[in-house]
Structure 1
Amino acid sequence: MYTELLQDNSLSLFFNSLQEQQAGKYTCRATYANSIQLHKSVTIDTIVAITWDNAPLNQYPILGKDFPIQCKVRARPSPSVDWLYNGELIKTNDHYIIDTYALKIKNVQESDDGIYTCRAYVLTTGELKERPIRVEVHIRPTVKEFSGPVDVIEDKDASIQCKAHGKPPPKFSWVKSLTHQNLSHADRFEVDPDTGLLTIRNVNREDAGEYQCTATNLAGRANTNIQVNVIVKPKIMEFLNSTVVQEKEASLVCKAFGKPPPQVTFRKLTNDQPYAEGAHDDRIILTSSPNDITGETVGRLTISKSLRSDDGLYECIAKNAGGEARLNGHLTVEFPPSFALMPNISKWSWEQKPVNISCIAESIPNATIRWTFRGGQSIDNDNMIKQLDNGPQSTLTILPLDKRYYTTYTCIASNAHGTRERNIELREGTKPGEVQQAKMAEITATTIRFDLVLPSTDPDLPVKAITVQYKEQGQTWMQAKNMTWTVGFPYGLKDLKPQTSYEFRFAARNMVGLGNWGAYHEETTPVKTFPNEPKIKTSSGEYDSSKFSNQYELTWAMPDDNGEPIDMYQVKYCQIKHVSGVWEELRDTCRTEKIQGRLRYWLKNLNSETFYKVELMAHNALGFSKPGSAKFKTARESVGIEPDYKVDISAGGTCKLAVTAIATAITILFLAI
């Protein structure tokens, strides 16, 4: 404010911006004629509009505490103030107390959330103002306690979840209790402040200990502690190989470390399942002794009266919550020599042929082998006997110059646990004796088949083959023909001359050689005649079955022609039915067809699901053979058209078979027969 002398010599007081504190009594003073004092006073009253001095728009009480909602209002003249909640006027009661500058809420509850209106008014001026204040009740955090220690695994990542409730949602922090280190800024640790998730990367053993989770919001903080245990994966510290003598007690010991101490068991690698702790059977017992202080477990597999079958690789298995470790060890069961792998056979030689005699001795440790013969004589001084290797396998090379060498040889195997002997007999082999008997079993104009009685032989030198010499009467044996058969195959000859007398002699052959000729036999082939009966090929059973409803493939073996070549075959097939246990031929259903140069033939245009009888005769220049016969049944009629077969085949040749099947596609197949 300031004063200013105007042109009429009056003095004026100016207020640029009248303030409330400038209200009051102002006096203007003057002097007249230098002696008379004049004065005049004026009172200035200020009117101040309603002003909110301390009335924050957002206020945050804490659950369960008393809280004053601030609303300090200023005006001139002085204002009146009242409060509204959700449009309803608030009156002082047990829950609300209206103070001069605040509305006090006692024992704040969540239900006190909402919009409160602080209303101020001046009656003299008629001014009215309202101040909406949003009240949000804050709740102190409550942290969910952990139910127990948390296990994390060494060398792996781990996560621990801290859970808390509060309003507003709290922020989380983690510290390690021992060091008070804030883990939000520590290596290998990550803290999510919004979710409370603590992540530990690549856990190590030093991470074990107590951790504290703290949840904080505007209403306060809460914390909880948790014990973290680091599980150390098992590590097998020692699993040594072991050696035991057969029938003695064996022990395999495996030492493993881990936290918690691991369970230790064993498995023989030839078994699927490990041994269970305790007695496995009458001989095998497994014990496992964990030490919670050192973290070491000693597992022991004890085998009483060890057997050779107990020898082999064993696996030590150590397990705890962090995983498992495995390591192999070997149990060696030592035993005296054994000849179990050697066959119990004699060796043969003849005509001073060198021969090898081998001896194999199983043992642990390996056996040393020496040889004797002729009841205990040393072989060292005989130049005809050479020993190769002295264990665990040894071979004698023998040159049997005379019968003295055909004797018993003794293999003597020794190791630290005993000595065993095995006898091997060297026998002199001889050729087979004479064939004892030859009897004609079947003869035609051009073929003959014999039944033979072979000579008796040692099972180790069986007859392998039979040789026959045969010639026409009047010829010498120098002019004879030879034929050799393997024992067990038909002893037959073909391409003989009709009406011709032959002489036959037989000899047996084994590994040594061909025996003497014997079983002399004379036989005269008969005159030429019609062929033998053809043998139709069918499946076993009373009748054969066709795969098709309207066709049947007839196949047969070529019969002997008996002196004249077969020039054709005649086939006859008729429908039949089974009546009172007898097959009867249906009248007017028979068909006859001639076949040349084939050993298979398709019977076509047959009825479906019908029984047929077929007769086949071979023909040569001298007439028809007796008929070979068979029965067959056609298949049920199918949808579509049966394959149409075009066959071009000669006996013993190659058949190209074209098949056209019409249903949904056309297929061409070429089959080699």
Structure 2
Amino acid sequence: MATVLILSIISLCLVEYSGAQSLVLVPGDQTQPKKKGFGLIIKCDATGLGPGEDPQLTWTNAQGNVITSTNSNDPVYVQGKGTQSLKLRILSVQGEHAGKWICSGVLGGQTQTKDVIFDVWEDITFTGKQYQRPTIYTDALIECRVGGSPQPEVSWSHKGKTLERGRYIPKPNGLEILNITKNDNGEYLCKAEITSRGRYEEHPITVEVKVPPTLTSPPKMTKGIEGKDLTMYCKASGDPPPTYKWYKDQSGDYVILNNGGRYEISEVEGTLKILRLEVSDDGTYKCVASNLAGPVEATAEVDVMVPPKIIQQDHGEGISGGTTKMLCVATGDPAPDMKWHKIGEASPFQNKGTGVPDMINSRVTVTQNKERDRTRLEMQIVSLEPSDISNYTCSAYNEAGNDTKNTSLNVLFKPQFNNNPSDVAYTWSGAFKRNITCIVDSNPPARIVWKRGNKLLENNGTFTINTENRVRQVVSNLTVLVDFTNEGFMFGDYVCEGSNNQGTGSTVINLRQATLPHPPSTVDVVRAAQRWIRLRIGAPSNSGGLPVTGYRVQYSTTQGNNQLETIEAEIDPERTNDDDSRPKTTVDIENLNPSTLYTISVYARTDVGLSDPRETQFTTKKISVPEPVNILSKTVSDTSSEYNLVWEKPRDGGSPIKHYIIRYRRVTYNQSNNQITDIKSDFKVVKQENPEATSFKLTNLIPERTYQIEIDAVNGVGKSETRHIVMTTKYGSNAAGAKELERPSSETSDQPAPNRNSKEAQDGDTSPITQREGLSTGAIVGLVIIIFFILLLFVDVTCYFKNRCGIIMCVRENVCGKPSDDGDRHVTMEEGDAKETQPLAEKEKPGDDTKGTGAENQADTVEDEKKQPLLDNEDKTGDDVTGTDQSEPEKMEEKEPEDKEEKIEEHQVEECKEAKEEPPVNAPEAEVQPSSDNTGPPAEKA
């Protein structure tokens, strides 16, 4: 204890002594922590010295070296050298500056030191890219170098989770991930901490695994055509998407192809397009697809094909019966196939190999020989014939295209007479010239002469020779004049002789005397009506040597005026009977009289003259009702509210047609059995007054409804047999049917037809007169005219009563006489009005025909008195024609004369039925078929 006390006293004494002269450091901490990279200054002061006393201060670094530099540009230097205060400056503290630095000085003749420890520390630093792309399926290192002093502790996390060892191995320079996959993609945190200094930092790293390229569509062997463009394709998958380069094999070395010139390369799409292919482009091409993970490559061949080109083609020539060969040569890559084809033939000659004839023409043999880039095709024809003369086509073809060229084959042959028209000719006496024709085929063209017996004929008054040269053919006409002076020796054989350098040939033509034809074999009346008949004339059994050119038909009546009428009919060679090969000709005779017996004579005509006649008799039909009307219109209307009924004008039965009666009503129709299953409304009747009309427009129809329409033709005798049609209107709407459209639209219901007197029937069954919601222009004009006449009548009446003048006064004086007073005038006017309102039937004679009062196509609506369905096909001679859209007085005015007319027509029909005509004895009634034609003589069916 005493020892400790003594030492303490000695220590205090030393301190007191040193306080007189000592070294002091500012700052005075013995340990100075300094951050790397920061500047440092520390001052060493010598205290307790007298003025001018030099302590010879120095600074020694941690390595024991004295700092002598006073240059402020040096990293370490001192300031205040030779003074009692010396500053140490370090511009940027580094790790090498760490350690004990000593300040030394001479104080009181003794060296004193003062030391300070520089503790240099370094903040956390990271080295490594923030975006890293390792290769898939490798042991990848995620680089992250952590710096700091003292050395930081490092940890890793991925997607918020701390990584444990296993596949993840920490390394000094980063994190190693074994067999990395795409599941390892994402953000990693490289974490560092220096606990002693309380420092913590994170370094984020995004990892995206690279996938090496894999060829999904490698380039394929591609064929191109010389002069055309060719495109090669190469496609690979990878991450990132690969880019592409193309190379061509040049004598074993692949040379890269650059975009430009004849090459168009897409580094993104992987396509190579070669423009205007050349033969030199043939070869091997390589596609290289690469990305950050590496390359992949594939090769493919390009075959440049050359279209065929015919470089040689021979013309053929030979003599009839001989042999010829024709050669055709073509080039191309690949060597083309070739064919010979005769123009006009359906198929080419078949190449069956050397020496094997064609299957179609056994005289032809075709042989083909292929070489490297060319083909030879030879055709041999044996036993040449004139028919072999033609143009021939040589064709060559391969995958790249085809080529054709034409040539010809010429065959020489002596005259032939295969195309001579006939070996018999006819003529007759009477200064008539007749041509005898000789056609000679030959090559070269033949010289033609005519002979009669052994005598050579020349041009003179009796014989004339005309020759025409054609292609490998000569046509010679010998004109012979036969009259009554030479007919004894002009008939007989004539020789046509042709010759050329291949030989001579001849043919004999016999000239015979023609005679008049026989009469027609048959004359039948096949169709008949009141005013026309149709004859069918059979050809004569013997035409006298010349063809029948036509017929003369003469006819007359045996009653009254028996004037002979003549018709010249031309031959109709196309019409024949099934039981007779000789042609039949039909002739129509028009404008005959009804119920009249006619005598008919028919002559056959040739160039020689007319035959004897073939005669027959026939009686025309009696006047009757018109034939039934043939309806031509469609079964569906063009609009929703109108229908145009079209028909063919029928034959009038011998009495002019007066008008047509048309009836229509709504029905339900079953198309499967063509039956009307329900009647939806009563018949509405209209009249077409114009007898020449062939159409009538029905208006105010209801959309999507089915109508039954009947039509009769009426003449002075009565009505025709009724014809009908069932039609349907289109979808739509119209003003007249607006109310009815509110009712159920189904026409196929089993509900009975509505009562005509019911409200529903009145709404739906409108009159044919078009109903409109507003006034039309015509109605407005009519209304203005009516108002004008009312005003005019008012003025005239005023003038009559006040001034005894005006139109009424003038009429009254001229018709009724001058009145004695006003009462007489009033009575007279009433009497005049009464006369005007008498029924129309009282003003007409019983025999007058009722005329239509409307314009053409005006619909005078009529009620069918019997309301008879159309399908029973009976004459409706008792139907009443009345207006359905007029007031009661107007109906009464029109109904009586119409009833009268219909009664007259009915009476006439009954008379016609009672007076059934009996055919005349001589009339070929069994051969007559009733006519159903409408507008004229029907065309005879073949």
Q: Which amino acid is 1:395 matched to?
A: N
Cα distance in 1 for partners of 2:564, 2:239 equals: 115
CA contact under 8 A between 2:248 and 2:256: conserved in structure 1?
yes
- 1:411 aligned residue (472, 493, 496): 496
1:187–1:126 Cα change, 3 Å: same
1:55–1:603 Cα change, 3 Å: closer
Q: Which amino acid is 2:114 matched to?
A: K
Cα distance in 2 for partners of 1:408, 1:134 equals: 118
Q: Which amino acid is 1:78 matched to?
A: Q
2:704 matched residue in structure 1: none
- 1:22 aligned residue (97, 110, 120): 97
1:283 matched residue in structure 2: 362
Q: Which amino acid is 1:191 matched to?
A: I
1:233–1:553 Cα change, 3 Å: closer
1:422 matched residue in structure 2: 507
Instruction: Please give the per-residue CA displacement for 1:360-388, whole angstroms capped at 9, x wherever unaligned.
Output: 21234433322222x12122586754433
- 2:149 aligned residue (76, 97, 112): 76
Cα distance in 2 for partners of 1:213, 1:96 equals: 38
Q: Which amino acid is 2:374 matched to?
A: E
Q: Count residues in correspondence.
A: 545
CA contact under 8 A between 2:340 and 2:348: conserved in structure 1?
yes
Residues 1:58 and 2:131 are matched in the alignment: yes
Cα offset, 1:174, TM superposition: 0.5
Alignment of 1:425-444 (within 5 A): 425-426=510-511
- 1:369 aligned residue (436, 442, 448): 448
- 2:213 aligned residue (141, 152, 164): 141
Residues 1:192 and 2:192 are matched in the alignment: no
Cα distance in 1 for partners of 2:541, 2:367 equals: 70
CA contact under 8 A between 2:217 and 2:233: conserved in structure 1?
no
2:465 matched residue in structure 1: 387
Q: Which amino acid is 2:187 matched to?
A: I
Q: Which amino acid is 2:621 matched to?
A: P
Cα distance in 1 for partners of 2:553, 2:298 equals: 104
1:482–1:372 Cα change, 3 Å: farther
Deviates further, 198-207 or 279-288: 279-288
Cα offset, 1:122, TM superposition: 1.4
Q: Which amino acid is 2:693 matched to?
A: L
CA contact under 8 A between 1:554 and 1:602: conserved in structure 2?
no
Residues 1:459 and 2:545 are matched in the alignment: yes
CA contact under 8 A between 2:495 and 2:507: conserved in structure 1?
yes
Residues 1:555 and 2:651 are matched in the alignment: yes
SS in 2 for 1:46: strand
Q: Which amino acid is 2:282 matched to?
A: A
Cα offset, 1:105, TM superposition: 4.0
2:925 matched residue in structure 1: none
Cα offset, 1:434, TM superposition: 12
1:536–1:177 Cα change, 3 Å: farther
Q: Which amino acid is 1:130 matched to?
A: E
Instruction: Please give the per-residue CA displacement for 1:629-648, whole angstroms capped at 9, x wherever unaligned.
Output: xxxxxx99999767733355
- 1:343 aligned residue (418, 421, 424): 421
2:72 matched residue in structure 1: none
Cα distance in 1 for partners of 2:140, 2:586 equals: 118
SS in 2 for 1:361: strand
Unaligned runs of 5+ in 1: 442-450, 471-480, 496-504, 520-530, 559-597, 609-634, 649-655
Alignment of 1:105-124 (within 5 A): 105-124=177-196
Residues 1:165 and 2:237 are matched in the alignment: yes
Q: Which amino acid is 2:467 matched to?
A: D
Q: Which amino acid is 1:190 matched to?
A: E
1:100 matched residue in structure 2: 172
CA contact under 8 A between 2:218 and 2:233: conserved in structure 1?
no
CA contact under 8 A between 1:554 and 1:603: conserved in structure 2?
no
Deviates further, 203-212 or 258-267: 258-267
Cα distance in 1 for partners of 2:517, 2:90 equals: 161
Alignment of 1:258-269 (within 5 A): 258-269=332-343
Residues 1:662 and 2:698 are matched in the alignment: yes
Cα distance in 2 for partners of 1:289, 1:199 equals: 37
TM-score, length of structure 2 as denominator length = 0.49
CA contact under 8 A between 2:662 and 2:686: conserved in structure 1?
no
2:226 matched residue in structure 1: 154
Cα distance in 2 for partners of 1:414, 1:316 equals: 34
Cα offset, 1:119, TM superposition: 2.1
SS in 1 for 2:651: strand
Cα offset, 1:133, TM superposition: 2.1
Q: Which amino acid is 1:169 matched to?
A: P
2:687 matched residue in structure 1: 644
Cα distance in 2 for partners of 1:538, 1:409 equals: 66
1:534 matched residue in structure 2: 621
Instruction: Please give the per-residue CA displacement for 1:555-578, whole angstroms capped at 9, x wherever unaligned.
Output: 3676xxxxxxxxxxxxxxxxxxxx
Instruction: Please give the per-residue CA displacement for 1:3-27, whole angstroms capped at 9, x wherever unaligned.
Output: 4449x95333344543444333322
Cα distance in 1 for partners of 2:195, 2:649 equals: 127
CA contact under 8 A between 2:307 and 2:400: conserved in structure 1?
yes
Cα offset, 1:399, TM superposition: 5.3
1:227 matched residue in structure 2: 301
Alignment of 1:609-648 (within 5 A): 644-647=687-690
Cα distance in 1 for partners of 2:689, 2:312 equals: 79
Cα distance in 2 for partners of 1:552, 1:349 equals: 51
- 1:298 aligned residue (376, 385, 398): 376
Cα distance in 1 for partners of 2:694, 2:164 equals: 111
Cα offset, 1:343, TM superposition: 2.0
Cα offset, 1:215, TM superposition: 1.5
1:418–1:641 Cα change, 3 Å: farther
Q: Which has the higher strand share?
A: 1
Cα distance in 1 for partners of 2:405, 2:362 equals: 23
- 1:323 aligned residue (397, 401, 419): 401
Cα distance in 2 for partners of 1:68, 1:508 equals: 119
Cα distance in 2 for partners of 1:465, 1:169 equals: 95
Cα distance in 1 for partners of 2:141, 2:604 equals: 130
Deviates further, 636-645 or 81-90: 636-645
CA contact under 8 A between 2:649 and 2:935: conserved in structure 1?
no
Cα offset, 1:672, TM superposition: 9.0
1:228–1:513 Cα change, 3 Å: closer
CA contact under 8 A between 1:536 and 1:554: conserved in structure 2?
no
SS in 2 for 1:185: coil
Q: Which amino acid is 1:370 matched to?
A: V
CA contact under 8 A between 2:135 and 2:212: conserved in structure 1?
yes
Instruction: Please give the per-residue CA displacement for 1:295-348, whole angstroms capped at 9, x wherever unaligned.
Output: 223345555656655554444443322233333344455554333333214153
Cα distance in 1 for partners of 2:119, 2:648 equals: 136
1:552–1:534 Cα change, 3 Å: farther
1:553–1:642 Cα change, 3 Å: farther
Q: Which has the greater radius of gyration?
A: 2
SS in 2 for 1:389: strand
Q: CA RMSD in A?
A: 5.2
Instruction: Please give the per-residue CA displacement for 1:597-623, whole angstroms capped at 9, x wherever unaligned.
Output: x45566869999xxxxxxxxxxxxxxx
CA contact under 8 A between 1:338 and 1:362: conserved in structure 2?
yes
Alignment of 1:37-48 (within 5 A): 37-48=111-122
Cα distance in 1 for partners of 2:150, 2:459 equals: 148
CA contact under 8 A between 1:261 and 1:290: conserved in structure 2?
no
SS in 2 for 1:206: helix
SS in 1 for 2:258: helix
1:606–1:156 Cα change, 3 Å: closer
Q: Which has the higher helix share?
A: 2
Cα offset, 1:49, TM superposition: 0.7
Cα distance in 1 for partners of 2:86, 2:273 equals: 82
